[in-house]
Chain A
Amino acid sequence: MKLYPRQRHRVLQVVTKLVIPFVLMFGLYVQFHGDYGPGGGFQAGVIFASAFILHGLIFGLKRTRDVLSPTVLRFMMASGVLLYAGTGLVTMLFGGELLNYSVLAHEPTHGQHWGIFAVELGVGITVTGVMITLFYGFASKR
């Protein structure tokens, strides 16, 4: 009788299902709390991606691809960089230098806050996309 991984790794699968929401939450926390504690877009992207990679390891690549298709990932990879560079262009439209966020709002520190938020979000989206793409690339080739 052929044993499918579904039956082989029941404990791992249950534990994974329990863990994944917390990993995603922690990723978001690291992303949006980077102003106050350690962390930021890059680390958050990696943590966020690791949740999907864990899902892929335990449940198989096929099901992870159903959740997050490679096409979506490609959009994510590009849109993060575009968000970052776009923020720079918007600051120029507002009359400042490239990536000088102070011009984004009346209060310079508010502008900085918005700018850093957008830029870190861009980094996070790109890193998430690239990391999961790397994993898909390796895992689908065997």
Chain B
Amino acid sequence: MDTLIVLVLLTFLAITAIGIIVLRDLLGAVILLGLYSLTAAGAFVVMDAVDVAFTEAAVGAGISTILFLGALSFTKHEQKPRGHDSWVALIFVVVTGGLLIYGTLDMPHYGSPDSPSQTHPELAVRYVQESGSEVGPPNIVTSVLASYRGYDTLGETVVVFAAGVAVLSLLGLRRRRPEDEAPEDAPGDIPAADPQDNPRRNV
């Protein structure tokens, strides 16, 4: 049953990905991206990776959709038709994709008994059996992330911070009082809410 659900979800993922490529309408593509993340989150849930699914749903389906919508407000909603098809680009994409698929061939199959985590179970067994008495929280993922791998999470937090600083320095938040220039209407108005009311937009 699980396999069937995962198969359906993965088929959905592939269809959504093709839809994103084919679609000229950027707004539709952004919505499909959100759908893609949500489907991926569903697949993670079926694979019992609830924490990952949570993050994927919140970040992929939530925040990045919003940020893409924000980026869309800089530009038109329609992708510019390309006059020519670039064969060089196609070759590059095919070669890169082929390399990625070739790379996955070395990876153990999902749930395979030959995977390194199964043949060398010491670490996983230690986490499962000892984290309750060593660290405490019933959620082992939290124990691993925050305590056993505290360094990693510190690094990740610094990366998030650095990303914020980078965006600040690139896009820059203006120092003047916002009422001077902040638009009266919400950025969310742009996409589909009420296009005919808003002559400034190219819809």
Contact = CB atoms under 8 A, between A and B. Distances in A.
B173 A136 contact: yes
Given A46-B58, A116-B146, A133-B168, A57 B186 contact: yes
Interface residues of A, number: 66
Nearest to A60: B186
Given A38-B50, A138-B71, A57 B184 contact: no
A40 to B, nearest CB: 6
Interface stretch (B88-96, B118-126, B147-155): B147-155
Interface string A40-70: 1011001101100100111111100110001
A30 B55 CA distance: 11
26 contacts: A4-B185, A30-B54, A34-B142, A36-B138, A38-B51, A38-B139, A39-B51, A39-B54, A56-B188, A57-B66, A60-B183, A60-B184, A61-B186, A65-B182, A66-B178, A81-B158, A84-B154, A112-B135, A112-B136, A116-B137, A134-B167, A139-B70, A139-B187, A140-B171, A140-B174, A141-B74
Contact of A40 (B133, B145, B160): B145
Decide if the interface of chain B is mainly helix, strand, loop or mixed. helix
Contacts of B137: 34-36, 113, 116
B10 to A, nearest CB: 22
A126 B63 CA distance: 15
A57 B187 contact: yes
B193 A9 contact: yes
A136 B182 CA distance: 11
A54 to B, nearest CB: 9
A1 to B, nearest CB: 11
Given A43-B54, A130-B161, A135-B66, A119 B187 contact: no
B164 A112 contact: no
A142 B182 CA distance: 9
